Structure 1
Amino acid sequence: MINIITVDGPSGVGKGTLCQLLCEHTGFHFLDSGAIYRSLAYGVLDKKIELENQPGLVALASVLPVEFIDGKVWFEGQDISLTIRNEDVAGMASKVAAMPAVREALLQRQKDFARQPGLVADGRDMGTVVFPQAQVKLFLTASAEIRAERRVNQLKNQGVTANINKITQDIIERDQRDMSRATSPLIPADDAFVIDTTDLNIHQVFDKSKQILQNCGI
């Protein structure tokens, strides 16, 4: 049996940082499913594939030329680690992720990441669809306002000027799309542990998560 920890939730709740800490704590492998969808979105934009061209989207998803090497994301040999974090790519990722045929094409690719000694999986439907057998399922949440503040600070650290009102609106719209889509909506698994990170720093979130893992025997 492969131990699997899933960490689901919307953008800006601290999933990525928590997963990194959990990987260091457990020695498990890491799956950033969001990076897979963002890489697909990057490819869609780069190759100018129209959203109406579902066969083209599915074809790209089926052979997605993405690799995760030394903490970086590579697409056709090009480092796109920073590019896939911009708002255009994020918006496109949310749109293509709402398409059932696209999600199906990427499903097995994600399942293949599960191997010994274990896996920490970051995403939106890791605990509900991709790894429903996971031993520990965490679901992080936070207010749209605090998530927008975190995103603006992140962009500032990268030297990028951002409009907090626009980012807040983008987050609200993306949440609505993710929660209302027919396939794999953004919801906690029935057996998930929900952690509201609005008023918590990452160390407090990590401490809560470690306690949950300990209680679950991991």
Structure 2
Amino acid sequence: MFSVAIDGPAGAGKSSVARRAAAALSFIYVDTGALYRAVGYCAAQKGSDTKSAAEVEPLLDSISVDLKFVNGEQRVFANGEDVSEAIRTPDMAMHASNVSAIPAVRAKLLDMQRSLAARNNVIMDGRDIGTVVLPNAQVKIFLTASPESRAMRRLADHKARGEEISFETLLDDIKRRDEADSTRAAAPLKQAEDAVLVDTTELSFEESVETVIALIQKGMNQGKE
């Protein structure tokens, strides 16, 4: 099986780029961020403080998270409920960041992620895919962009869904998320030593996808040599 690890900060376009690249290469796309959002969603629904391991850990045995493909689209299910849209709010992004800092949550999802990679050609994106989840991935990419560029892209996403939110709020959210993800004790966000850095600040979405596909194809061709 061939594995691609795409890491990077919030709002860098990892999910959109990875999803398009996976479709083009007939790989399975695994959105690990959605898994953490789903756990955060369940904990928040229970009224738990998602920053508190003492409050979140007792819930884990009762939380079931799954990825399913419905009409060719990856959907996220939490305890049987399709939460694909519900987990895409700024609040859920912070809950995801909070629970991802809890080692027991990471352990719960780690086996699931590795199992998917063992059975399929995958493109997996997240914060620690190349460093922790799939350290032996054949291709590792660290996708990033300036905070301002990432906030503008998030703003466009919210507007497309008819949601009103300010650029300043999104920029603040992204900076807080970067700080939380980079400084957490459990598997902090960092570039793997053997990852290729791709800065998409000045790239269009299509250019970003083309760059990532080219890197993956290069890795696949090297594997055949």
User: What's the TM-score, normalizing by structure 1?
Assistant: 0.93
Tell me the residue number matched to 1:128.
Answer: 131
- CA separation of 1:52 and 1:19: change in aligned 2, threshold 3 A: closer
Distance 1:136 1:169 in 2: 32
Give the one of 169, 180, 188 matched to 2:172.
Answer: 169
> CA offsets per residue over residues 132-168 of structure 1, 9 Å max, x none?
0000001100111111111111101101000111110
| Amino acid paired to 2:156 | N
After TM superposition, give the deviation of residue 62 of structure 1 in Å: 4.6
Q: Which runs of 5+ in 1 are unaligned?
A: none
> CA offsets per residue over residues 170-216 of structure 1, 9 Å max, x none?
11011011011122111110000110011101211122122212322
Tell me the residue number matched to 2:48.
Answer: 49
Distance 2:60 2:124 in 1: 19
* Mapped contact 2:40–2:50 kept (Cα < 8 A): no
* Mapped contact 2:50–2:95 kept (Cα < 8 A): no
After TM superposition, give the deviation of residue 117 of structure 1 in Å: 4.3
User: What's the TM-score, normalizing by structure 2?
Assistant: 0.90
Aligned residues: 217
Q: More displaced, 205-214 or 118-127?
A: 205-214
Tell me the residue number matched to 2:60.
Answer: 61
- CA separation of 1:183 and 1:76: change in aligned 2, threshold 3 A: closer
After TM superposition, give the deviation of residue 102 of structure 1 in Å: 2.2
Distance 2:75 2:112 in 1: 18
Distance 1:46 1:73 in 2: 16
> CA offsets per residue over residues 87-117 of structure 1, 9 Å max, x none?
1111111111112232223211221111444
Tell me the residue number matched to 1:81.
Answer: 84
| Amino acid paired to 1:171 | I
Identity of aligned residues (%): 36
* Mapped contact 2:3–2:123 kept (Cα < 8 A): yes
| Amino acid paired to 1:98 | A
Distance 2:102 2:198 in 1: 28
Tell me the residue number matched to 1:184.
Answer: 187
After TM superposition, give the deviation of residue 7 of structure 1 in Å: 0.8
Aligned-residue Cα RMSD (Å) equals 1.6
- CA separation of 1:51 and 1:85: change in aligned 2, threshold 3 A: closer
Tell me the residue number matched to 1:152.
Answer: 155
Residue 206, structure 1, aligned to residue 201, structure 2:
no
